[in-house]
């Protein structure tokens, strides 16, 4: 009996294509059906998690985050300062802002100059960054920016985007798995495209958080121009090692400082209201 290997090969190839199309369709439909309107940003976004799930995930991840950066800072006075500034910002948020249970943490890490926000309101700042800040307004700028990430639901949005990317990469891998080398090349190309898509969203998130931070600072009585100084501090701390802006998930701090300055002029004018905390 002769076996039609060419016919069998075509059947297998066609089956892989069908499976790949199904995977891609399911991933895309799941992503597109998760759209919602964010009242804080005024934009439509795709998020598959509920706010309660964000809170639970953030609370579960907070101890892991702290452990990665040497635990929490032992000085209660430092924690009290961050709690006070954070609470002032939260009290001044728009009335229709989601009621995330914000918590602010100082990480003991004295070398990493950074701040982080987990989904649901868990916010961290390292001692290394805190030690470089010169005013309460600058601290408010850092925390306001991170609050912007939370209310912008940027982490949840990126998770939904990554799930879509993984589904499309999986579909491309199935479709191109006829040859070992061809499958690897297809997967590598699809991964690169997916990473670049997610990279753009990461950069946009940073700029949106800057804009929200400016708004939250001014509402809480802080001078939003302090956030410009924060960008200058971050740029100095990087020592020029941040690399080209296009290749970084965080836009260059120097360029962000210019954007923040223009945003403040557009939003509030050059004459800020008196009494703002610098």
Residue 104: domain span: 35-268
Of the spans 13-22, 59-68, 195-204, 252-261, which averages the highest pLDDT? 59-68
Number of alpha helices (DSSP H) and beta strands (DSSP E) in the chain? 9, 5
CA distance 226 to 130: 14
| Cβ atoms of 150 and 100 closer than 8 Å | yes
The pLDDT of residue 256 is above 50: yes
Mean pLDDT of 15-32: 59
In a domain, 30, yes or no: no
pLDDT at 199: 47
The pLDDT of residue 115 is above 90: yes
The pLDDT of residue 218 is above 60: yes
In a domain, 277, yes or no: no
In a domain, 189, yes or no: yes
Residue 186: band (very low, low, confident or very high) from pLDDT cuts 50, 70, 90: very low
Give how many domains the chain has, as a whole number.
1
Parallel, antiparallel or unpaired: strands 122-126 and 115-117: antiparallel
Q: Is the pTM of this model over 0.75?
A: yes
Determine which helix (DSSP H) or strand (DSSP E) holds 106, and give its type and residue range. strand 103-107
pLDDT at 9: 58
CA distance 47 to 45: 6
Sign of CA dihedral 110, 116, 119, 120: positive
In a domain, 26, yes or no: no
Between the CA of residue 246 and those of 92, 111, 212, what are the distances in Å?
34, 26, 22
In a domain, 1, yes or no: no
The pLDDT of residue 144 is above 50: yes
pLDDT at 170: 55
Residue with tokens 């949840």: 156
Q: Write the DSSP string, 202-260.
A: HHHHHHHHHHHHHHHHHHTTB-TTHHHHHHHHHHHHHTT-S--GGG-SS--HHHHHHHH
């Amino acid at each position: 009996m002769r076996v039609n290997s060419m016919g069998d090969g075509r059947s297998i190839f066609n089956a892989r294509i069908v499976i790949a199309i199904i995977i891609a369709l399911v991933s895309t439909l799941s992503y597109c059906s998760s759209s919602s309107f964010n009242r804080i940003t005024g934009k439509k976004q795709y998020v598959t998690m509920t706010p309660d799930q964000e809170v639970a995930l953030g609370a579960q991840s907070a101890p892991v985050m702290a452990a990665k950066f040497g635990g929490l800072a032992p000085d209660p006075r430092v924690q009290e300062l961050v709690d006070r500034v954070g609470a002032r910002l939260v009290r001044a948020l728009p009335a229709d802002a989601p009621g995330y249970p914000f918590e602010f943490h100082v990480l003991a890490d004295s070398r990493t100059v950074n701040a982080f926000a987990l989904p649901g309101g868990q916010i961290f700042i390292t001692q290394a960054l805190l030690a470089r800040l010169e005013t309460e307004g600058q601290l408010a700028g850092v925390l306001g920016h991170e609050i912007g990430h939370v209310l912008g639901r940027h982490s949840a949005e990126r998770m939904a985007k990554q799930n879509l990317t993984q589904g499309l990469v999986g579909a491309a891998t199935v479709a191109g798995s006829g040859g070992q080398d061809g499958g690897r090349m297809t997967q590598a190309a699809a991964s690169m495209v997916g990473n670049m898509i997610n990279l753009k969203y990461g950069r946009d998130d940073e700029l949106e958080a800057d804009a929200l931070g400016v708004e939250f600072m001014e509402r809480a009585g802080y001078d939003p121009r302090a956030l410009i100084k924060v960008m200058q501090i971050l740029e100095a701390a990087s020592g020029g090692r941040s690399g080209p802006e296009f290749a970084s998930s965080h836009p260059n701090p120097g360029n962000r400082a210019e954007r923040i300055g223009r945003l403040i002029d557009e939003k509030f004018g050059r004459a800020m209201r008196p009494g703002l905390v610098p």
